[in-house]
């Protein structure tokens, strides 16, 4: 049943038969675009990173927003940029400084990836971020979707990509009547056919805001996606322990394994987590304990 407050209510009713048959006429696509823009005009969310076209600022926001809620990113984003205002500043700082600034955002691998991106931009591209998605995809930590989103938001180019909220919009609007698992391969032609060639930046912001609203109105539309997975429980997970360990190490010069055991974690589990952190470049094992990498 379509709710009256659904931003696509009229669109879905008017084109019900065509959508069931999978016939995407130019008129249907145009009216889909109109529905998205109409919703966005009244319901645009305002975030600091949406008010900049600075490529470095966009890269920072896109990496922070991976798997992290916008509210948490909003708390850290400006402070991070104050500490590291450019690719050059981030590239030449210590891992410890980056991880300390990253505390609270989770998934610390992203912090190292972000610094690695900055170093590559400075060392190989003269400090200028490429506007070519294919080049950005070669950067560690940037997959095709993130590379394309950076180009769209930094350079307003009509790249084609999908993220969770965008996926929810296309699943709901074009596949709401179907129960089978829909792949991104099926969605990408629709994304390509509807992206605003003159204002891709705002178009993708509009789609994201629509997706957020749809998730409030309906049980997550992304459940229809072939790629939908249930996020694993965070409490008590290795991911949580990793975060705790890194946070402690950013606050102290060295920490003994015994000190970490006092937090109530099993020794074997801690040893494995610390070993992984060392292999990944976060942590150094010293003769008198563990410390954040100085590289």
Residue 235 appears among annotated catalytic residues? no
pLDDT band with cut points at 50, 70 and 90 for residue 223: low
Domain range 54-155, CATH architecture: Orthogonal Bundle (1.10)
Residue 236 per-residue DSSP state: T
User: What's the CA gap between 129 and 120, in Å, rounded?
Assistant: 9
Out of 62, 88, 124, 213, pick the active-site residue. Answer: 62
Q: Which two tokens stand for residue 267?
A: 């020794």
Name the residue with higher pLDDT: 253 or 150. Answer: 150
188: exposed, middle or buried (Cβ count in 10 Å: 0-12, 13-18, 19+): middle
Q: How far apart are CA 176 and CA 16, in angstroms?
A: 10
pLDDT over 80 (residue 46) = yes
Residue 179 has pLDDT above 80, yes or no: no
Domain ranges of the chain: 9-46+159-224, 54-155, 238-292
Closest CA to 81 of 106, 107, 102: 102
Mean pLDDT score, 214-225 = 78
Q: What is the tens place of the pLDDT at every residue in 123-149?
A: 999 999 999 999 999 999 899 999 999
Query: 9-46+159-224 in CATH: which number?
Result: 1.10.1670
238-292, what's its fold?
A: Arc Repressor Mutant, subunit A (1.10.10)
pLDDT at position 123 is 97
């Amino acid at each position: 049943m379509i709710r009256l407050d659904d931003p696509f209510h009229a669109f879905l009713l008017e084109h019900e038969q065509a959508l069931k048959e999978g016939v995407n006429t130019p008129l249907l696509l145009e009216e889909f675009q109109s529905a998205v823009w109409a919703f966005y005009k009244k319901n645009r969310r305002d975030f600091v990173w949406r008010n900049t076209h600075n490529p470095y600022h966009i890269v920072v926001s896109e990496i922070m927003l991976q798997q992290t809620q916008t509210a948490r990113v909003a708390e850290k984003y400006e402070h991070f940029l104050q500490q590291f205002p450019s690719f050059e500043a981030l590239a030449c700082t210590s891992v410890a400084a980056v991880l300390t600034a990253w505390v609270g955002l989770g998934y610390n691998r992203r912090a190292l990836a972000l610094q690695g991106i900055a170093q590559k931009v400075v060392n190989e591209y003269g400090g200028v971020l490429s506007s070519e998605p294919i080049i950005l995809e070669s950067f560690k930590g940037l997959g095709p979707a993130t590379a394309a989103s950076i180009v769209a938001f930094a350079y307003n180019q009509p790249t084609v990509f999908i993220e969770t909220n965008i996926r929810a919009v296309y699943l709901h609007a074009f596949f709401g009547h179907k129960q089978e698992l829909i792949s991104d391969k099926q969605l990408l032609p629709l994304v390509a056919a509807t992206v605003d060639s003159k204002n891709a930046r705002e178009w993708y912001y509009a789609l994201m805001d629509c997706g957020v609203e749809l998730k409030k109105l309906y049980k997550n539309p992304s459940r229809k996606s072939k790629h939908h997975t249930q996020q694993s429980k965070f409490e008590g997970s290795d991911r949580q322990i990793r975060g705790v360990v890194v946070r402690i190490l950013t606050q102290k010069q060295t920490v003994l394994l015994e000190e970490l055991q006092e937090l109530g974690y099993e020794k074997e589990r801690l040893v494995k987590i610390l070993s992984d952190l060392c292999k990944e470049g976060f942590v150094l094992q010293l003769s008198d304990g563990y410390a954040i990498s100085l590289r």
